[in-house]
Structure 1
């Protein structure tokens, strides 16, 4: 064996291993379990912010037969808040893996990039499911949020939306060099979607070119899915199509993150 052979860097595996993906997910969940501040942000912060909206709008009068402002906007926020929180937490968590050298060590093992990112997605997806369950439970019990459709559909949409936040957070972390830069991606990726998702003004009332942009943003479909649940007692075809679009966008973001992930921060 020559010296050149010994010094040649080991290629990062490209095949997917369910065992390594599950091991990565377990490691991330153990880290989350010891990070009490992150747990508080994931589980408590969305409910507190939703409570602030409830206090803001609970005494605002509405027309007879019309849903209250909180019932309309609060339902939509059940999808937006998990998306924002999971984007922020995931992008910073992955960046710490790079800056600490953990990612570089992991990628010298048989762990593929896709194993790593799917493991992160699985771990934070489980955290998102718990987050959505807590937030929806608090909204429908403590804040008396009324939903025409099934509460479980609201939870499902909130989870899918949170997973989208995880995927976009992983993608954003690939381009950031510091935690401050990771936070800076939030107004670039999150705020345009918030402005154009249909919460502030219905999409069909926007200028034509803004409607085109809105239709390209996955958060628009999450908001539409929640609005469908809010006004229909049965799951509609539009709702399922919207959920599929959001889930597809999350998978695309994960694939792009795997393609652009670097071992270390230069």
Structure 2
């Protein structure tokens, strides 16, 4: 990687992103608005004695899921737009390497992901009354890492798509199975063995597990740190795989 090329790439993408007000609004506002909708959805659900409110249980998991989904969708489409416009092919004829390009994209969109996750957590804890046993800071950190995970996997999937429509088609293949198997709908230890194995291979499961650890424990646990390490490992592997599979020429 060339530090100057990497910095210039990140700066260019941030400028483009800042000029696209609709995309900025979607990145920042969609998770917060969906969390608010979730709050009103469960507002009238009766409390079960001895158990936390349903909103608290669902919302803590959604803080890891929503940033992941939104950033996956936006990143994969934005990268494919660069390809279809010919910008990507022109950039790769310069001394810029594929890793420079992807690292620049990852950094720029990760900055947006951090702002998105921080705002979603501020709304959930500050306005909607979400409570956890653990520190809110750790929740924000996991939410940010989940959003960065969405960026990394979005970049990887965009390397295999030829059009923006194909990039969107990766969502039911890559994202929805993770939503089903991450433990949101059914606890992972209650799934059939073969589904537990599939769930263990999906990074979103570890984000949700880490948030569950924070929700139920007042101190940092070893299990939570291991979950975060696994998610970070998936981010690094996805970026490296994206660099290895990115085509220099547009088909």
- RMSD across aligned positions (CA): 0.9
Matched residue, 1:256:
241
8 Å Cα contact 1:99-1:264 kept in structure 2: no
Matched residue, 1:148:
133
Matched residue, 1:137:
122
Which of the residues 191, 198, 206 maps onto 2:176? 191
| Shift in Å, 1:21 | 1.3
Matched residue, 1:8:
none
The secondary structure found in structure 1 opposite 2:46 is coil
Matched residue, 1:54:
39
8 Å Cα contact 1:98-1:263 kept in structure 2: no
Instruction: Give unmatched runs, 5+ long, in structure 2.
Output: none
Matched residue, 1:227:
212
Counterpart Cα distance in 1 of 2:249 and 2:155: 14
The secondary structure found in structure 2 opposite 1:109 is coil
Matched residue, 2:70:
85
Counterpart Cα distance in 2 of 1:227 and 1:18: 38
Deviations 1:49-87 (A, max 9, x none): 111110000121122231101101001000000000000
| Shift in Å, 1:174 | 0.8
Matched residue, 2:142:
157
8 Å Cα contact 1:174-1:257 kept in structure 2: yes
Deviations 1:230-263 (A, max 9, x none): 1111111111110110010011010110011113
Find out whether 1:238 has 2:223 as its counterpart. yes
| Shift in Å, 1:265 | 3.1
Counterpart Cα distance in 2 of 1:253 and 1:190: 14
Counterpart Cα distance in 2 of 1:52 and 1:91: 26
8 Å Cα contact 1:97-1:103 kept in structure 2: yes
| Shift in Å, 1:98 | 0.7
Find out whether 1:207 has 2:192 as its counterpart. yes
Q: What is the TM-score normalised by the length of structure 1?
A: 0.93
How many residue pairs get aligned? The number is 251
The secondary structure found in structure 2 opposite 1:199 is coil
- Report the structure number with the largest CA radius of gyration: 1
